[in-house]
């Protein structure tokens, strides 16, 4: 069964379940940051990928721009290992 785009999210082809999964992951990350809770144990590269995925659901051009100019990978590569 082919998935149709979700209204309002033309880049999402996986249906509503996929649409909710990534933003929920980002909500948890945002809440931890807002509550000044540690995030060092989280997979921050996965969080960055989730941001790009959700942005791509909305509009692919800004997602491509962020992907091109983001320095997240370079910053995370400098992070001390546990």
Query: Tens digit of pLDDT for each residue in 18-66?
Result: 778 888 888 998 999 999 999 888 888 888 999 999 899 889 999 999 9
- Quick check: is 58 in a domain? yes
Contacts 24+ apart (CB under 8 A), 6-13: 6/57, 9/57, 9/58, 10/57, 10/58, 10/59, 11/56, 11/57, 11/58, 11/59, 11/60, 11/63, 12/57
How many domains does the chain fold into?
1
Residue 57 lies in a domain: yes
Task: Assess if residue 9 is contained within a domain.
Answer: no
Give the range of the structural domain holding residue 37, as residue numbers without chain letter: 16-73
Could you tell me if residue 26 is inside a domain? yes
Residue 78 included in any domain: no
What is the pTM for the complete model shown?
Answer: 0.75
């Amino acid at each position: 069964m082919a998935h149709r785009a979700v209204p309002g999210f033309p880049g999402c082809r996986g249906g509503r379940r996929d649409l909710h999964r990534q933003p929920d992951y980002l909500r948890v990350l945002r809440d931890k940051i807002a509550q000044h809770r540690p995030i060092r144990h989280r997979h921050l590269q996965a969080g960055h990928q989730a941001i790009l995925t959700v942005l791509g659901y909305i509009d692919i051009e800004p997602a491509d721009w962020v992907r091109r100019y983001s320095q997240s990978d370079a910053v995370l590569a400098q992070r001390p290992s546990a």
